[in-house]
A and B are shown apart, each in its own frame.
Chain A
Amino acid sequence: MLLLKSGFGRDIIILLVVTIIASTLLSLVVGNLADFYFGDTVNELLGDYGEYDLALIVDKDLQEEAKRQSQEIIDTKLAGSKLVTGIELAGQTNFFIKLDEEYQNQETYTQVNEYFQNVPGYNNLSLMTEPRITVQGLQADSGQFLQDQVEALSGVDFTFIDGDKLEVIVTDAELLPDVQEDIEDLMAEYQVLTVRFPIDQQADDLLALGDQLAGAVNEEYQVEAENITKTDFSDLDSLVKTMSEMKNFLNSYATTVEIELTDEVDLQLGAQLAVPAQDQEQVMLRVTELDGQLARAVITSGDSAEILGGSAYQLEGDKLGAKAGSLQVSNPRQDLAYAVEQMSKLVPQLDQIFARTDNLLTELMEVITAFERLTETLEEINYLTNQLDRFGQGDFELGQLQSTLQSLEDNLDNLVTLINRLNYAQSLIIEFQEFLATTQAELRAQSNNLEPTSPYRQQLEELIANLAELESRIDQNTAEIIEVIDQYNPLLTEVTTWQEDVTRVNQVLSNLEAGDEKRAQELVGDLTTGDLFTELNQMHQQSLALDLAELEEEIISLQRLDFEAIVEELEYIQQALPKLRDEEITDSIDLIDQHLAGSVIPGAEISLLTPAEAELEGIEAIVEQQLGTGLSSYTSQIGVINPDLRGQIYQILSEVKTLLMALTAIIFTLFSLLFDQTLLINAIRLIEKDQNKKQWIDLGSCYGCLIGAGLLGTTFYLTGAEIPYIPFYISFLVGGILGIIAAKKAKAMNEISQNEFRAGQAFGFDHAQIMQEIIIPTSKPGLLKLLNKRKVYF
């Protein structure tokens, strides 16, 4: 490097220093211009960094009133805070709020949403406080857990939880990266294990189940597992859940069509079929399930009520094609309507039960009194016949005999009436039992029409059980009566005959002349002979044990069931059923499906917080053992750090800025290499060639590479410019490559006149003088030439 020895080294060093300074300055200027320009734009839109704390967005139409009320709220609840009207965008007005120092705390931020929620035209209240870090997507109730630890970090002013976000207010913007790193480290220590129940399977006490699982996990993996199962749900969760419930509801009332497919057809899921309908129309079906030769379909156009015939057809164009199979339509709405109709018919019948049971009860009471009177009557008859016996032995007065017979006749008449009454009661009991049996059967049929889980079905089942109970009680309590009555029945004719005999004897007696006692004695003796009397006497011995109290209880419990209410409820369901055609139901289900597609339907979930290093291998088995099958489990991060909007914009801007700076530095370096350094490279090559030495390497290229790397690397270092995602040392590499490129292009860029160079040598000029006086002044314009101006003589 003879060029350097000649004192030209100083020139080169000055050139390099000036180049680096210029390049650095230019990069910084470009960077600051970008900052200035973009920063201004952002600040115009969002206010200066940290200027406001809240943005209240309201409908533009209501902004006057909204502003007045907001001001009022601020005056009463946030005294000292400022309200500023911001930009209007798309029909909405932004009010910016700067909270007074006093209100810069967790409590205010947690409540502030409620303060403004009722402002007219309220749309949204968003947080603007800066500097701030947001941890979002917090799993289950991990926020609380994280909050305590984050609040303990240095640089954190305060924190608050907003839904699934933890907002962290930082004391100083410069601390943001440190705090963010600390939070990241903190979150990296944990993982969340989530166990999800199937949507249709709800678990009762998730917290308890969570504790149970946490215990099992602790034991199995020897880690601290914390139960962070969430128990309250967001509005959106609820909406999604409602929609999926709605879908289930619609599904259970949608008409399903079962098609017994003919052998020839080959259908795919989703295939369209047509069914002839009224008015030359067609009802369209979509196949939703295929099970061998059985297809299930829903109605996509038309309604099941319009279907004609029992066959479905494939489509050829928009005409009916080959027969696909025979139809079986089941329309749960029609079924329900039928059930309701049948039930309403049952209501009067059920009413009858009460009337009749009442009736039966009185009847049975009568039977009891009848039995008592029967006993009395029999005793009377017994007494009278004893008297008659005595009369038969001739010891009587006629008048006395006549009155005794009259009394017997009356008593026998009573007896017949009583026995008839008992017969009636018997038939009544039997008939009522039959009635209960048929009513039960009819109710059972209705009950079968209802969903197994329906509360009405449960009520009906209760009713049926009650009726059955009543039936058996009546059975138990009346069996004896009926048996007793059955014994009286055959006697009835005999009693009647006897009664007739008594009447006849009495008539004969009344026609007898005084003194004809002999004839009377014979007649009475006939009356008291025979078995009937003995039989009657035996009957009298039997007692009748009848527990009516028990029956009464049963009837009261029946009355407690409100049949009419049940029917009313069923009618209400029928009324409340969406008045939809089948096609509309299918459309609605499709629509809900579309909306729900991709959204996670929140089934019940259990969440545990465990240390990140816990490897939960085989957790599925433990979940299954603890909570049953069909549950899915997975682990995830505790949350995601999200820098605020402006932070993000600024980050992008700073990336753009450093990229611009990097590009400026690269371009400047390239220019400097091409316009200045190429001349030096050529000079080096020329001088080296004059040496009486063999040249092993191209010193010019080495020099270019070195200078390129030095220039760019130093500029990058000084400006802090960087190409995003590319490490710093790469700048040296890029610079080196640029230098080599410059060396390659040196001859074309900045050729040195060898003749003039030689002339300089002949003058006795050293290399520095040759460069300064001869070579540089004729070179391409550049920093080198500029700096050389003060040295050159001409």
Chain B
Amino acid sequence: MLQVSNLTKSYGSTQVLTGVDFKVKQGETVAIMGPSGCGKSTTIRCINRLTEPDGGEIIFKGVSVLDLSEDKLLSLRKEIGFVFQKFNLIERLTVLENIILPVVKTEAKACQQELEQKALQILEKVKLADKATSAIDQLSGGQKQRVGIARALIIDPSLLLLDEPTASLDPILVREVLEVIEELTALQDKAIIIVTHEVSFALQVADLILLMDQGQIVEQGSPDEIFVAPQSEVGQKYKDLLEYY
């Protein structure tokens, strides 16, 4: 459902992506891994054009994303859920309002109650049903990220993009977030692309792992392929890492 080819991006004179190619199938969970600064976030943000790529092609459900008009782009974004590393919640709103906000403009015709109902169901899924009316600043980091995930789910996305969802959390909180994500990966109607440094998590849930280094995908394959017989330098490092534990 998603095909990215020869994606390039540079900031000023620094080439950040030097030609990224990969495919994601419906329902598939893809983990993007690689050393810090190799271009993972940039790649994932280019998919819904939060970051504007310089060149290449992105085909999502048969549509060329980079050729979309402004209006169409905005519609596209409404189909793709995005979870930020820093949660990016709207501080002034309650948990429930945060979750509903993405759809209030498009689904204004749907009555508020329905939306709230839906939001509460999602909250249940992320195990935060009791926090619906809480203010954001009363939540822990793990809870915040689960709200972030819930907010991404309100639009029933066919593609969910998660950019290091646990990187801002302490290890104990990481777990509750990963549990929620793991549940999502089981859903067959959604493709998930997750940028993560959690090797064991990737091993466990990913259908496909993309290893990036210096703006390129240096190796891709199933967890078994990559962590058993890595071809790349980066892959070797992750294998070593796994064995270390």
Contact = CB atoms under 8 A, between A and B. Distances in A.
Interface of A: 5, 690-692, 753, 755-756, 758-759, 761-766, 769, 773-774, 777-778, 793-794
Given A764-B75, A764-B77, A773-B105, A755 B50 contact: no
Contacts of B54: 692
A756 B74 contact: no
A763 B101 contact: yes
Contacts of A794: 93, 97, 101, 104
Interface in B80-135: 82, 84, 86-93, 97, 101-102, 104-106
Contact of A759 (B84, B97, B104, B106): B84
A793 B74 contact: no
Contact of B102 (A692, A755, A756, A763): A763
Nearest to A756: B90
B179 interface: no
Contacts of A755: 84, 86-88
> Which of B77, B82, B90, B106 gathers the greatest number of chain A CB atoms within 10 Å?
B90
21 contacts: A692-B52, A692-B54, A753-B91, A755-B86, A755-B87, A756-B91, A759-B89, A759-B90, A762-B84, A762-B88, A763-B77, A764-B74, A764-B75, A766-B74, A769-B105, A773-B101, A774-B90, A778-B91, A793-B104, A794-B93, A794-B104
A755 B163 CA distance: 13
Contacts of A764: 74-78, 102, 106
Closest 7 CB pairs of A and B: A764-B77, A764-B78, A763-B102, A759-B88, A762-B82, A755-B88, A793-B104
B145 interface: no
Contacts of A765: 74, 102, 105
Nearest to B106: A764
B114 to A, nearest CB: 15
B103 to A, nearest CB: 8
A762 B48 CA distance: 8
Contacts of A759: 84, 88-90
Contacts of B91: 753, 756, 778
Given A690-B52, A794-B97, A758 B92 contact: no
Contacts of B102: 763-765
Contact of A758 (B70, B88, B106): B88
A692 B52 CA distance: 7
Nearest to B11: A692
Contacts of A777: 92
Contacts of B52: 690-692
A778 B86 contact: no
B93 A762 contact: no
A762 to B, nearest CB: 4
B86 A793 contact: no
Contact of A762 (B77, B105, B106): B77
Contacts of A758: 50, 84, 88
Interface in B44-89: 48, 50, 52, 54, 70, 74-78, 82, 84, 86-89
A501 to B, nearest CB: 174
A761 B77 contact: yes
Nearest to A690: B52
A762 B101 CA distance: 12
Contacts of B82: 762
A8 to B, nearest CB: 13
A764 B107 CA distance: 13
A773 B87 CA distance: 18
Nearest to B87: A755
Nearest to B103: A763
A777 B91 CA distance: 11
